[in-house]
Amino acid sequence: MSLLNKRKKPESKPGDGLLEVDRKVLDAIKSRKEMAIWSRDLKSETSLPDQVINKSLKNLLNASLIREVVHVKQKGRKHYIGADFQPSTEVTGGLWYNDDGELDVAYVDQLKDLCLKIIRRLKVATADGVYDFFKANRLTHTECTSQQIVEILRSMVLDNMIIDVKSTGLGEYHSIPVGQVCYRCSVGDANQGGPKAGALVSIPCGVCPRIRQCTPDGLISPSTCVYFTKWLDF
């Protein structure tokens, strides 16, 4: 029996054999790529009745050609994305959100705790310094970006866990360029390894590079200084 006349059958591709309406719905979903599409928008995109769209969605889900995703800004609306796309951070919320579109509070708290321990160890650090420490020591199973570390540190400042100051280039700030924003533990942190600092010692004016230009009625003054206000509130 000759094998010369045998032809290799072409491999089937995902989506082959779909009904025309299913193909139309699939194309509309894929056209949004990583942004996903709201089920209601499929009606205007395809001009198909709701009943037909719902049936097509079920067929496509069963065929694993699409999947449903949670949109963090529109949780009450069903969104769909092509199986070969990953939803954008605008849809998922990024690293801070879990698969259900809820803020991953446990993970955020974990990062805050790690950042605090790093700053306690380094005494004073820039956002880049904290990020480099993360990378060098692989403190989490999930990769963090430098921007995410910046967001965490800003949140910690608002929570009075740490304070942000500008480097004077002197003492503990000798390795940080003058004027660059850096972070240190809040006043009275009992885990810094030393006694609690007194109020006068901790006043931000002591490390302010503009202290010589600061006057009660000047452009730079205690009444308009955000660092001094934070110190008073603390």
Residue 177: inside a domain, yes or no?
A: yes
Is 147 inside a domain boundary?
A: yes
Domain termination residue (choose one: 78, 96, 114): 96
Pair (181, 113) in one structural domain: yes
Contact at 8 Å (CB) between 83 and 93?
no
Of the three residues 53, 73, 96, the one that is the final residue of a domain is: 96
Q: Residue 110 sits in which domain range? A: 105-233
110 and 198 fall within a common domain = yes
Residue 120 lies inside a defined structural domain of this protein: yes
Q: Are residues 45 and 85 in the same domain?
A: yes
What are the tens digits of pLDDT across the range 24-75?
A: 999 999 998 988 889 889 988 899 999 999 999 999 999 999 998 888 777 7
| Tally of domains within the chain | 2
CATH at 79:
1.10.10.10
Residues 124 and 191 in one domain: yes
Residues 136 and 200 in one domain: yes
Given 44, 69, 96, the domain boundary residue is 96
Shared-domain flag, residues 133 and 35: no
Highest mean pLDDT among 4-8, 34-38, 191-195, 200-204: 34-38
Q: Is residue 9 part of a domain?
A: no
| 226 and 116 in a common domain | yes
DSSP 187: T
Give 3 or 39, the one with higher predicted confidence.
39
| Two structure tokens written together for 72 | 């963090």
Whether residue 66 is found in the same domain as residue 110: no
Q: What is the identity of the amino acid at 156? A: M
Q: Comparing C-alpha atoms, which of 207, 187, 208 is closest to residue 199?
A: 187
Chain centroid offset of residue 106 CA: 14
Asked if residue 193 and residue 113 are part of one domain, the reply reads yes
pLDDT in tens, 110-132: 888 989 999 999 899 999 999 98
Per-residue b or e along 76-114, where b marks 16 or more CB atoms closer than 10 Å to that residue's CB: eebbbbbbebebeeebbbebbbeeebeebeeebeebbeb
Tell me, yes or no, whether 91 and 170 share the same domain: no
Instruction: Judge if 121 and 229 occupy the same domain.
Output: yes
Q: Are residues 180 and 68 in the same domain?
A: no
